Chain A
Amino acid sequence: MAAPDTMREREAGAPPAPAASSRTREVARLLVSNRLALAGVVVLGALVLLALFAPLIAPFGINEIAIDRRLEAPSAARPFGTDQLGRDIFSRVLIGTRISLQVGFVAVSIALVFGVILGLVAGYYGGKTDDALMRLMDVFFAFPAILLAIAVLAILGPGITNAMIAIGIVYMPIFARITRASVLSVREEVYVRAARSIGAGDLRILRLHVLPNVAAPIIVQTSISLAFAILSEAALSFIGLGAQRPDPAWGLMLAEGRGFIQQAWWMAFFPGAAIFFTVLALNVVGDGLRDALDPRQKSAIESRGMVGS
């Protein structure tokens, strides 16, 4: 995975700082040695490929209605069966991968960008700015996540785009908090003070000296947030506030399938299973990343490995 990347970088004649290179390789090595995390990475990679090539793989159109074939049980031709309009569920679940990954990606990007900026500013400048920003984040934390998303969607109106914004807002405070905490710990480091003493501007210090050194917890949080963003989107679509008909979003398909649960279990089963596996893969990768990036955890894994061998 990351190992060939490092090699390519070296061949390209852009030698990264030795510390960064060995760090990347170390993380890659730990990820690979953690078989579970590796499996998660593989599943995730497969999902991304499926999402990219879904229109080519899908045997039927997502809105190809065939009333005479409605509520057909899974068969060789239609592995996941058909829904109440005779649409092929396999094709719809496949295309649904795109929606889920896209929503997760966009929502987490919103949370990441705004949260990290707020956290950097709060942690680096401290004082009143810090107080004001963190109290504001505390306010957001007072709401159960899904309820905050529902409230935001009540204002913006239902829809998949608004769901992305709502989820982004919900997960922003956690990024702000994590970034701030790490910034506080590196703010007074010698290298930051040295940069300041040679006259580097705040923006330069933040970008070149602070951000790279607080990246690890942010990366871990990103992969975990992706899992929960996808879960949240599915929940919002399930209750009718996210994706709208006839989009093949997993949460929405599950909601439709719920009405036919007695006649056609497959309608609710497969979209739900798709959500489950995607979220699981992301969580496993997130855990693997945390183990690899957090030195305290790293020793735990390595010691377990020694006991095992």
Chain B
Amino acid sequence: MVLLGVSVLVFAIVHLVPGDPIQVALGTRFDPATYEALRERAGFNQPLPVQYVQWLTGALTGDLGVSFRSGQPVMTTILGRLPATLTLAFAALLVALVIALPVGIISAVRRGSVVDYTSTVFSQLGVSIPDFWMGILFILLFSLTLGWLPPSGYTPLTEDPLGWLSRLAMPAVTVGVVSGSVLTRFVRSSMLEALGQDYTRTARSKGLAQRVVVNRHVLKNALIPFVTVAGLQLAVLLGGVVIVEIVFAWPGLGQLALTAVERRDYPVLQGTVLLLALTTVLINLAVDLAYAFLDPRIRY
């Protein structure tokens, strides 16, 4: 249902543009033959509902049309960019979790301590910092001043694992710090909630050690709501990736989408937006299912 709505909205992008999108896209390179060919290929000669059905069936079978610029199939272009974006997204999520889990747990268990206070301040800073600015500062510090890391670009893992890691580090940390700050707060609050529950008191009154109480009773229960938040955060993180890719010249979907907007290459933009929205919906679905798996009380 939501997916259907998403597809209508994405389909509408090209038709909501004032004027003739192909004419606009071709701009000064306009010539009647190319124009007609692209029109024909994009199916613009047909009534709108027919166009939508054709576009949707095409999209479902992996045909997202051809680029107005290069004439390449959009699917091929997107698949070429996908690994870079996925790599960055998962690396960033890893960074976020490595920050959020320990820091969140410790600040909840030692509530009101220096650690708790410091982590609250840092998570507030992390939520507020513009990621593109942080990325530029990282480049300034680690690439231009210290010369430790290459400032930008992407090397596939298969070609040069070390180069891959050195180029991945800064963008992944940039995106990860922001997400990690958000997640830290959620870990802390869901831990605090679990710490205040009856079963925690019972476990304590049985005389169990603090470590056992936290590991066995609190952590397990606190992680259930956290899975939801972490999943939703992955969707937010994709947004961050889009911007940070531009800072680090990371050849992923964010850059592709931006170039498509600049060049008015609407099929490419539609394909990218559709794919990222689809990913978000699927993540949410996966989160719901994981929730049921983790919490035996929930059955669908």
Contact = CB atoms under 8 A, between A and B. Distances in A.
Interface residues of B, number: 46
Given A138-B2, A280-B124, A234 B273 contact: no
B24 to A, nearest CB: 10
Given A258-B247, A283-B124, 18 more contacts: A135-B2, A142-B3, A142-B5, A142-B6, A143-B6, A143-B273, A144-B242, A153-B261, A155-B17, A234-B132, A235-B130, A240-B258, A254-B130, A272-B130, A276-B128, A276-B129, A283-B128, A284-B124
B273 to A, nearest CB: 5
Contacts of A262: 144
Contacts of B1: 135
Tell me whether chain B's interface is mostly helix, strand or loop, or mixed. helix
Interface of B: 1-3, 5-6, 9-10, 13, 16-17, 112, 124-125, 127-130, 132-133, 136-137, 139-140, 144, 235-236, 238-240, 242-243, 246-247, 257-258, 260-262, 264, 266, 269, 273, 276-277, 280-281
A3 B215 CA distance: 47
6 contacts: A138-B2, A139-B5, A143-B277, A144-B235, A280-B124, A280-B128
B13 A151 contact: yes
A147, A240, A254, most chain B CB atoms within 10 A: A147
Interface of A: 135-136, 138-139, 142-147, 150-151, 153-155, 227, 231, 234-235, 238-241, 251, 254, 257-258, 261-262, 265, 268-269, 272-273, 275-276, 279-280, 283-284, 287, 304, 307
Contacts of A275: 130, 133
A254 B125 contact: no
Tell me whether chain A's interface is mostly helix, strand or loop, or mixed. helix
Contacts of A138: 2, 5
B1, B9, B17, B261, most chain A CB atoms within 10 A: B261
Nearest to A284: B124
